[in-house]
Amino acid sequence: MMGDRPSPPRAMSSAATTSPSVDKVDGFSRKSVRKAKQKRSQSSSQFRSQGKPIELTPLPLLKDVPAPEQPELFLKKLQQCCTVFDFMDTLSDLKMKEYKRSTLNELVDYVTVSRGYLTEQAYPEVVKMVSHNIFRTLPPSDSNEFDPEEDEPTLEASWPHLQLVYEFFIRFLESQEFQPSIAKKYIDQKFVLQLLELFDSEDPRERDYLKTVLHRIYGKFLGLRAFIRKQINNIFLRFVYETEHFNGVAELLEILGSIINGFALPLKAEHKQFLVKVLIPLHTVRSLSLFHAQLAYCIVQFLEKDPTLTEPVIRGLLKFWPKTCSQKEVMFLGELEEILDVIEPTQFVKIQEPLFKQISRCVSSPHFQVAERALYYWNNEYIMSLIEENSSVILPIMFANLYRISKEHWNPAIVALVYNVLKAFMEMNSTLFDELTASYKSDRQREKKKEKEREELWKKLEDLELKRGLRSDGIIPT
């Protein structure tokens, strides 16, 4: 009965099975030397002064005592499980570690199948046991430049126990007997705050459990919802503007994705502010690729709720458009296409000019993946129909770059795509197309002339500065 439990309900991350130490060739860099080390404990500062072996008195199995005695025994077992072991020391307390593991297993089973176990006294004990086990200061990351895409995550050493504690907690929250009205005394703001801090854990398995836990808490404790949203805001703002480091951004966004779904209309100002002041700036972070899918999902959710937000969102993306990182630029283009897929034609008209100025720049990017991604828009039927409706505005914006690229882009695939786009435009609006072709040269000349005038203006201004500077020995005349 106990053997088939607990089955981790969520997909186990592949990270769980990969080896932690792959030595790089150049062993001199910090990175590869540290890689040679064993996995490290995430149980940080918990074991400062524990030298003594831990003794727990074995208790009978819950199923072996009569039903009336079970709640009392349940509490005792919870208290025993508050004891935390040092998993970095793989030799110490082996027996007791195994005892705690089997007790936790039993508790997981018990809360899943038993009825009438959840007395009012049990709530504080459950929360206490969970807090003792999961709340801890996360250890330093192995390296300052930890790259979650490249580096192996550090796995939590005490996972054999921790997993069961999370498992137990989730079953407790999901149990039919669970009453939020009692639990809210113990699962409070402070509890949630500590829970949110754990999302920075490097262990993807832990973050996955945390996601479920937080989602359940958000669902069951109405009084904590605003607080949770606000704290997530703070985490994101700190991530964007202060540290650029937080491991659980993708998981938090995933939770938010489902929360946004449930927002009532009209949207509250608080939610709109979250979109514009938090979600949009998240695009600026260097590690965007790690959570971009979840972020784009949240954005689209917002726009489906309230299409009038399209303009500020697109303007925001344009403001933060990547200048040098082509990989990010491709992600932006992908997200923009998702937005355009759901855009209303009336919204499209409002934003088309700045939008297509940017797309025109992307199309002429020397990086072929960027150019290619932008040109793929013309394969999207809905976008095509929008472009066609507004060809008189869009074609003049796009034309010069398309024309130039068709002649001078280094990549033949891009040139071929550009020809298709030009052809499409020609079919859409041949009169305008012909006009633009005819005036292409004179337009370029006019631009050059304007450029020259600018230069002259600045030259004059600088002469003036020099003259005045000389005349007054650096003291600016009034």
Q: What's the min distance (Å) between Cβ of 131 and another protein?
A: 13
Does 26 contact another protein by CB under 8 A? yes
Rounded CA gap, 152 and 217, in Å? Answer: 30
Q: How many CB atoms lie within 10 A of CB 11?
A: 8
Does 353 contact another protein by CB under 8 A? no
Q: What's the min distance (Å) between Cβ of 382 and another protein?
A: 28
Which range of residues in 42-50, 112-120, 121-129, 388-396 is near another protein by CB under 8 A? 42-50
Does 460 contact another protein by CB under 8 A? yes
Does 71 contact another protein by CB under 8 A? no
> Which CB sits closer to another protein, 38 or 437?
38
473: left (phi over 0), alpha (psi -120 to 50) or beta: left
156 within 8 A of 207, measured Cβ to Cβ: no
> Which CB sits closer to another protein, 10 or 460?
460
Does 452 contact another protein by CB under 8 A? no
Task: Compute the CA torsion angle 252, 256, 258, 263 (nearest 10 deg).
Answer: 160
- Binding residue (CB under 8 A) for another protein from 13, 47, 63, 263: 47
Does 1 contact another protein by CB under 8 A? no
Contacts of 389 (CB under 8 A, 6+ apart): 345
The contact pattern for another protein, residues 287-326, with x = CB under 8 A and - = no contact, is --------------------------------x-------
- Binding residue (CB under 8 A) for another protein from 9, 437, 454, 456: 454
- Binding residue (CB under 8 A) for another protein from 20, 160, 180, 281: 281
DSSP string, 217-241: HHHH-GGGHHHHHHHHHHHHHHIII
What is the 3-class SS of 313-346, one letter each residue? HHHHHHHCCCCCCHHHHHHHHHHHHHHHHHCCHH
> Which CB sits closer to another protein, 304 or 463?
463
**What's the count of helices (H) and strands (E) in the chain, helices before strands?**
20, 0
Does 55 contact another protein by CB under 8 A? no
Q: Which of 52, 76, 59 is nearest to 125 (CA)?
A: 76
- Binding residue (CB under 8 A) for another protein from 241, 266, 304, 379: 241
Does 28 contact another protein by CB under 8 A? yes
Q: What's the min distance (Å) between Cβ of 465 and another protein?
A: 5
Q: Which of 383, 287, 285 is nearest to 334 (CA)?
A: 383
Which range of residues in 6-14, 177-185, 293-301, 460-468 is near another protein by CB under 8 A? 460-468
Which range of residues in 62-70, 147-155, 231-239, 286-294 is near another protein by CB under 8 A? 231-239
Rounded CA gap, 395 and 318, in Å? Answer: 20
> Which CB sits closer to another protein, 64 or 462?
462
Q: Which of 225, 174, 4 is nearest to 105 (CA)?
A: 4
Does 407 contact another protein by CB under 8 A? no
- Please report, for residues 24, 54, 79, 108, 424, the alpha-carbon distance to residue 99 in angstroms, rounded to integers and kept in the order given: 39, 11, 14, 14, 72
Q: What's the min distance (Å) between Cβ of 246 and another protein?
A: 12
Q: What is the CA radius of gyration of the chain?
A: 30
Does 140 contact another protein by CB under 8 A? yes
- Binding residue (CB under 8 A) for another protein from 184, 277, 350, 404: 277
Q: What's the min distance (Å) between Cβ of 98 and another protein?
A: 25
> Which CB sits closer to another protein, 29 or 346?
29
> Which CB sits closer to another protein, 33 or 113?
33
- Binding residue (CB under 8 A) for another protein from 72, 427, 456, 462: 462
State the number of CA atoms in the 13 A half-sphere of 338 facing the CB: 20
> Which CB sits closer to another protein, 160 or 312?
312
The count of residues interacting with another protein (CB under 8 A) is 39
Q: What's the min distance (Å) between Cβ of 24 and another protein?
A: 11
Q: Exposed, middle or buried, 228 (CB in 10 Å: 0-12/13-18/19+)?
A: buried
Q: Which alpha helices (DSSP H) does 119-203 contain, by range?
A: 122-134, 159-174, 180-183, 189-198
Does 22 contact another protein by CB under 8 A? no
Task: Compute the CA torsion angle 364, 366, 367, 370 (nearest 10 deg).
Answer: -10
**Site residues (CB under 8 A) for another protein?**
26-28, 30, 33-34, 44-45, 47-48, 137, 139-140, 190, 193, 234, 237-238, 241-242, 277, 281, 319, 357, 454, 457-458, 460-462, 464-465, 468, 471-472, 475-478
